[in-house]
Amino acid sequence: MVNDKTIHVALAGNPNSGKTSIFNCLAGANQKIGNFSGVTVEKVEGTFKHKGYTIRLVDLPGTYSLSPYSPEEKVARDYILQKKPDMIINILDATNLERNLVLTTQLMDLEVELLVVMNMIDEVEKQNTSIDFEQFELLVGAHVIPASALTREGIPNLLDHIVDIKSKAIETKKYKHTYTDKIESYILELSNIIASRKVGQHLPTRWLAIKLIEKDADVIALLKPTPCWETIKVALENIRSDIRKYHQHMEPDVYLAEERAAFINGAIKETVINTEEEAESLTEKIDNILLHRFLGLPIFVLIMYAIFQLTFRLGEYPMQWIDQLFQLFTNFLDGIIPASMAKSILLDGVIAGVGGVLVFLPNILILFLCISVLEATGYMARVAFVIDKLMHRIGLHGKSFIPMITGFGCSVPAMMAVRTLRNRGDRITTMMVIPFFSCGAKLPLYTVIISAFFAPKTAGNVLFGVYLFGIFIALISAKLLKSTVFKDDSEPFVMELPPYRMPSTHSMLQQTWMRAWMYIKKAGTVILLASIIIWFAGSYPKNDEVHQKYKMLRLQEQADTEHLDRLEKAEQLSFSIAGRIGKFLEPISKPLGFDWRLNIALVNGLAAKEIVVSTMGTIYAIGDTGSGTKTLAESLREDPEYNQAVGISFMIFVLLYIPCIAAVAIFLKESKSKLWTVVFVAYTLSVAWIVSFSVYQLMNLFAS
């Protein structure tokens, strides 16, 4: 039984309209906000209460229309048609009504309960523009709420309207948007046929009629199997023929689009008043520099270089403080807990594994904060245009670069963001190379290796070089795919450039904390469990001969029992489950410079890349032959098996090989192809091995 006190509301709007920001204001959620298309790539839900009602709010993907040309448009349209929410809140960018109202007119065709929110009203006021909201309501035929997600202006009013419309405390307005009399007669004719034959009853008959005139493939496929299709087909052919005849051979879908545009232009002229002549905007002035044909790309490279320098240098100090805190904690526990299995699990497993990951939280925070600022200001969208010329040379376009660069945060949402690409070949190509854009989970490993084998003054440069190298491999791979499998299979690049906006400090800190909390939660759950499993796999089974040897040594006079315990653990490690797996893989990994210990870390890294570092921390804690606690970087630096060539080879392999299992699952879901998923796994492994082998062998060649 449906609860009358529950209101099912869906948010619909264009990309960059502030839809997800409004969602967060209403639901108190922390959804990712970015000033470029593709951030919300699937529906997101939130639930809250207001005036005794439970409001279930669904944030639909940002879309310019409800014509299902791309996956996110189909998700939005299918949800509205199939789930039938009580109300649609249509979020408009009040600074760009002409573009945003196209979706509004299409929502009107669906005959849904509509509430219009004019977001960014504070920016409208700054532009010395005024909007006659009462007149706009009369023309559109829906309640209109001026609002600002940034200042929260209008949000309480919006909440009240949701409840008041549901409870019928205020009158529901009737839409005023209609087509010309001739088109309306065609719509009525088809509607009557559909209604009389009782087909498509779960969908609005008026909307079905409009979509038939527009030759919508999904609607035709829905009605074609029905007994009345022949009747509909004859009527539809006559209608489309009449439209072409009386409107200069114009296609019916184009003519209906022109009618919508005429309605929109008329509504804007009657309600929007510009009080001053429009001067060159600040956005245009900034774009003259950032989108310069010669300076645009170097500026982008410099910005990314600065971010990686900041990530390493600024993050170095808090990283050292956290590391020292964990060392003090370990030494304290080591002194008070008697030798036992529980002590070994706690110190060598949990603290070495989880602590080894949490040490790098400051670096993660800085990187994510910088990327969030670039997204929120609108610069990320500019990056797509700056890189477009280069992307065309490899067969893609600038829009593909948005999901790629999102991969710097995490490969999972990056792969989901390829839904904004309409062409299947472009989507698969982009997903294939996203793992080469190094995700934040790999940053701790880079930090350890760079700290171990490079001087502090060059650390930022090396980190930048690793990320740049990943981009280079991604572009080469994309060129290979677009030159062979998906040759000449692309689409033209059309993308909106949103205005620059000052990011909200609260929003940026909230988004950064959300990502940090996810990292901490992963350390306290997945990585904690992995560390315990890795400790067990690295500690058992034990070799009896080794145990007897050290047992005899401990019986000798003046034997250093603690030191002998460490030596025994180090020697037993190679006989353990983990040691045997690592040694089994050595014939494949030895040409890359990896020994069995690094092999264990790589295998465990398939679950999550943070586990690469936690595994190494646990393995070195188990096998530590020194007299005290060392950082992982110090252990690597002092190990005779490792050098700079091994370190770089290992970083490159982690950069390029299979991403986490979650990313592989998303690839399968988005590609809808088991074959391509197998190719994806095989390709990333092959590229990682070949490139790491080449780098390692070349470095050794030049060193000799």
Paired tokens of 206? 């008026």
Q: pLDDT (tens digit, 9 = 90+) per residue, 179-198?
A: 888 888 888 899 888 888 77
The answer to whether 315 touches 366, Cβ cutoff 8 Å, is: yes
Q: Domains of the chain, with CATH numbers?
A: 6-166 (3.40.50.300), 181-274 (1.10.287.1770), 297-505 (no CATH), 517-703 (no CATH)
Q: pLDDT (tens digit, 9 = 90+) per residue, 501-517?
A: 777 777 777 777 777 77
In single-letter form, the type of residue at position 292 comes to H
Q: pLDDT (tens digit, 9 = 90+) per residue, 210-264?
A: 989 988 888 888 888 888 888 888 998 999 888 888 777 788 888 888 888 888 8
Locus of tokens 């009449």: 242
Report the C-alpha gap between 373 and 516 in whole angstroms. Answer: 15
Quote the pLDDT of residue 674: 92
The answer to whether 114 touches 194, Cβ cutoff 8 Å, is: no
The answer to whether 443 touches 363, Cβ cutoff 8 Å, is: yes
Quote the pLDDT of residue 491: 56
**Measured CA angle at 619 (ends 616, 625), to 5 deg:** 120
**Measured CA angle at 530 (ends 679, 569), to 5 deg:** 115
Quote the pLDDT of residue 175: 64
Quote the pLDDT of residue 615: 75
Q: What's the Cα-to-Cα distance from 241 to each of 73, 185, 238, 244, 657, rounded to whole Å?
A: 29, 15, 5, 5, 57
Quote the pLDDT of residue 699: 92
In single-letter form, the type of residue at position 70 comes to S
Mark the ranges of the chain whose per-residue pLDDT is less than 50: 1-2, 32-40, 278-279, 625, 627-628
Quote the pLDDT of residue 678: 95
Quote the pLDDT of residue 587: 93
- Of 317, 286, 474, the residue nearest 386 (C-alpha): 286
Quote the pLDDT of residue 108: 87
The answer to whether 435 touches 663, Cβ cutoff 8 Å, is: yes
Entry pTM: 0.64
Report the C-alpha gap between 197 and 110 in whole angstroms. Answer: 20
Paired tokens of 545? 């001969």
Strands 87-93 and 114-119, sheet pairing: parallel
Paired tokens of 586? 């050595």
E strands of 259-308, at which residues? 272-274
What angle in degrees, to the nearest 10, is found between the helix axes of 674-703 and 456-483? Answer: 130
Quote the pLDDT of residue 174: 67
Average pLDDT, the chain: 82
In single-letter form, the type of residue at position 490 comes to S
Report the C-alpha gap between 70 and 472 in whole angstroms. Answer: 28
Report the C-alpha gap between 7 and 69 in whole angstroms. Answer: 30
